[in-house]
Structure 1
Amino acid sequence: MNPFTFTQARDLDSVLAALNGGQSRPIAGGTNLLDLMKEGVMRPSQLVDINGLDLDRIDAGEDGGLLLGALARNADTAYHRLVRERFPLLSSAILAGASPQLRNMASNGGNLMQRTRCVYFYDVGTACNKREPGTGCPARDGVNRQHAILGTSETCIATHPSDMCVALRALDAVVHVQSSGGKRQIPFADFHRLPEDRPEIDNTLQPGELITHIGVPQADRFIDHSAYIKVRDRLSYAFALVSVAAALDLGADGTIKAARIALGGVAHKPWRVEAAEERLVGQAAGEAAFAAAADAILQGARGYGHNDFKLALAKNAIVQALTTAARGTDVASGGAPNPEGDRA
């Protein structure tokens, strides 16, 4: 690990001043950043401890939505009454991620900022365009079982690892950020980016900006019919091969009035195709409609050898998630993940 200075922030202004330029990085739970530093992947010159800031609240929004503090821990968020009762899809996604110990430590803002778990990215002895632009992407012809099938480029086929972010994308969340120059809000759809020819840039956060809150708009119409399905190699503490956050607004006759579908484990960012959701409106909730939506979502998907199986797996997971959501949210478990989802 490289030498660095450690500063405990007094207030938000001092944090923003410290982050304004240079190689300073904020640290909250540190569940991903410290791993990256130990492996030599990231080498910040200064860590700014932001845990003392008043950014750990979870509050109801004025519009009936939710305002999640960036420093609220993942576990506290998942088990919060407002989240469990009104946003069960978010609770379920968070509880499907990592392990209880990590969820107790990881912050909401840090969850958005975590980086890919591509083995080549973590191995500083190999080439990696994301770690060192211009050196190549050995994953394209190498070990790529965990890698992307959508939104890839010649420079990178890495995936985004978050479960929480998949649900936030489905729920049209907004990221609130602040810098010394002021505040702005970033629609979740625009926060993470595809690799294109700049794979080293994971998101649209600008230098000196800090995530302060995550806003989630009112989603009461999806409370009764939502599901998070995560297919992985083992039941706990594993990243998704494919995950699906699905939510439906159903009429009394079972007709779909609105749908939300977002995927994880398949792209450099949470993947959502809103046109596919719109095609479901007015249709009867059933396997035929769900399979057609899956085909639309996966249009253009391609495998790279070891991950070819994801093409069929993703379609099956989408159909299963929508079918599970149509049956009804598992309210008794407070939105907890369905273990059967790991055997899709």
Structure 2
Amino acid sequence: MRSFTYTRANDVANAVDEVSAEKESKFIAGGTNLLDLMKIQVERPSHLVDITRLALDTIEETAEGGLRLGALVTNADTAYHEQVEKRYPLLSHAILAGATAQLRNMATDGGNLMQRTRCYYFYDTDTPCNKREPGSGCSAINGYNRDLAILGTSEHCIATHPSDMAVALAALEANVRVTGKAGERVIPFSEFHRLPGDTPHIDTNLKPDEIITAIDLPAKGFADHYTYLKLRDRASYAFALVSVAAALDLDGDTVKEARVALGGVAHKPWRIPEAEALLKGKPATRENFQKVAEAYVQGAKGYGHNDFKIELAKRAIVRALLQAKEMEAKL
């Protein structure tokens, strides 16, 4: 690990000033991903800005009837918060499907959105990786790519985003509140993370001087019919091969609204609102769910070891929607 300087921010404005002072500055809170990357020289910040003392650690009601999750609330405190469990159980279940209890106790909600891919080649500094060193090449395309993306890829990168929490937030249509030199702005969750394109080293649309201050959940939480399905190689401490956040608003057996987001298949949580709309006004049947699944994998491409993910994603979507439909009977 190379040497770096360190300061502790007193407030949001101070944090923005500090991170703007040096080009290679990074914010640090829980550090559950950043510190690992620093140890192996993947991340090499010259300056760390400690934001753990900022007043961003509460969960509050919003004027619109939703919840505001402070960026420094831990994943564990979010998952077990009474209102999150009651009104947004999809989010609670997704968070608890990720990492371990120890990591969830340290990891923050803002940091969860900023974690980087777990692609083997990104972590291996002896191999080319466009995400780590732009222009060096993508070793994964012709390498071992079983865990990697099948949707939204480019010739420069087939990495996946590792977060479970982010998949649920995508399905819920959350908003991310950020503050920078230019002031505060709100980023719709669908626009927060980026596809790789020809700039795979840029994960989000966050500006270099901006800090995440909160995540806003809308009033509608789909608490009656939902599921978070995570398919992985072992029952805990494993990233998703395919995950599905599914939510339904039903009138009897008729779908009023559907939400589906996929994890483990792309550079960002994957949603296709046009595919979800295929269910509107239709019976909640396996056959109709299958149509949505087919639409979700249109254009999917395997790279050898991960070809199986295309069929797995389709089956997972159908299974998740069926589980969401049946949820009320289990309550």
Q: Distance in 2 between matches of 1:153 and 1:263?
A: 18
Q: Offset at 1:331?
A: 7.8
Q: Offset at 1:181?
A: 2.2
| 8 Å Cα contact 1:28/1:107 also seen in 2 | yes
Q: Deviations over 1:28-63 (max 9, x none)?
A: 000000011011001001111101000010111111
Q: Distance in 1 between matches of 2:9 and 2:301?
A: 46
Map of 1:293-308 to 2, 5 A cutoff? 293-308=292-307
Q: Deviations over 1:146-191 (max 9, x none)?
A: 0000000000000000000000000111110001221111000000
Distance 1:250 1:61, change over 3 A: same
Counterpart residue type for residue 18 of structure 2:
A
Residue of structure 1 equivalent to 2:182 = 181
Distance 1:203 1:40, change over 3 A: same
Q: Distance in 2 between matches of 1:166 and 1:330?
A: 25
Distance 1:330 1:228, change over 3 A: farther
Counterpart residue type for residue 41 of structure 1:
V
| 8 Å Cα contact 1:9/1:52 also seen in 2 | yes
Q: Offset at 1:104?
A: 0.4
Name which of structure 1's ranges 57-66 and 206-215 shifts more when overlaid on structure 2.
57-66
Aligned length, in residue pairs = 330
Q: Deviations over 1:290-323 (max 9, x none)?
A: 1110000110001000001101110111011000
Counterpart residue type for residue 324 of structure 1:
Q
Residue of structure 2 equivalent to 1:288 = 287
Q: Deviations over 1:215-249 (max 9, x none)?
A: 111114x2100000000000000000000000000
Map of 1:102-113 to 2, 5 A cutoff? 102-113=103-114
| Local SS of the residue matching 1:136 | coil
Distance 1:37 1:325, change over 3 A: same
Q: Distance in 2 between matches of 1:27 and 1:264?
A: 25
Q: Distance in 1 between matches of 2:94 and 2:330?
A: 14
| 8 Å Cα contact 1:223/1:329 also seen in 2 | no
Q: Distance in 2 between matches of 1:12 and 1:66?
A: 20
Q: Distance in 2 between matches of 1:157 and 1:214?
A: 27
Residue of structure 2 equivalent to 1:193 = 194
Counterpart residue type for residue 255 of structure 1:
T
Residue of structure 2 equivalent to 1:245 = 245
Counterpart residue type for residue 232 of structure 2:
R
Name which of structure 1's ranges 11-20 and 130-139 shifts more when overlaid on structure 2.
11-20
Residue of structure 2 equivalent to 1:325 = 324
Stretches of structure 2 that go unaligned for 5 or more consecutive residues are none
Q: Deviations over 1:60-92 (max 9, x none)?
A: 111111100000000000000110000010001
Q: Offset at 1:328?
A: 1.2
Residue of structure 2 equivalent to 1:267 = 266
| Local SS of the residue matching 1:31 | coil
Residue of structure 2 equivalent to 1:16 = 16
Counterpart residue type for residue 7 of structure 1:
T
Whether 1:53 and 2:59 are equivalent positions in the alignment is no
Q: Distance in 2 between matches of 1:19 and 1:308?
A: 41
Q: Offset at 1:283?
A: 1.1
Q: Distance in 2 between matches of 1:23 and 1:33?
A: 13
* TM-score, normalisation: structure 1: 0.94
| Local SS of the residue matching 1:138 | coil
Runs of 4+ in 1 over 6 A off after TM superposition: none
Distance 1:159 1:256, change over 3 A: same
| Local SS of the residue matching 1:139 | coil
Q: Distance in 1 between matches of 2:285 and 2:105?
A: 38
Q: Distance in 2 between matches of 1:11 and 1:51?
A: 10
Q: Deviations over 1:247-266 (max 9, x none)?
A: 000112x1101000000000
Counterpart residue type for residue 169 of structure 1:
A
Q: Distance in 1 between matches of 2:280 and 2:182?
A: 42
| Local SS of the residue matching 1:90 | helix
Q: Distance in 1 between matches of 2:182 and 2:321?
A: 43
| 8 Å Cα contact 1:227/1:329 also seen in 2 | no
Q: Distance in 1 between matches of 2:168 and 2:242?
A: 13
Stretches of structure 1 that go unaligned for 5 or more consecutive residues are 333-344
| 8 Å Cα contact 1:60/1:82 also seen in 2 | no
Residue of structure 2 equivalent to 1:231 = 231
Coordinate RMSD, CA, aligned: 1.1
Q: Distance in 2 between matches of 1:207 and 1:330?
A: 47
Distance 1:17 1:144, change over 3 A: same
Counterpart residue type for residue 17 of structure 2:
A
Map of 1:1-344 to 2, 5 A cutoff? 1-20=1-20, 21-220=22-221, 222-252=222-252, 254-328=253-327
Q: Distance in 2 between matches of 1:157 and 1:85?
A: 36
| Local SS of the residue matching 1:19 | helix
Q: Distance in 2 between matches of 1:56 and 1:309?
A: 41
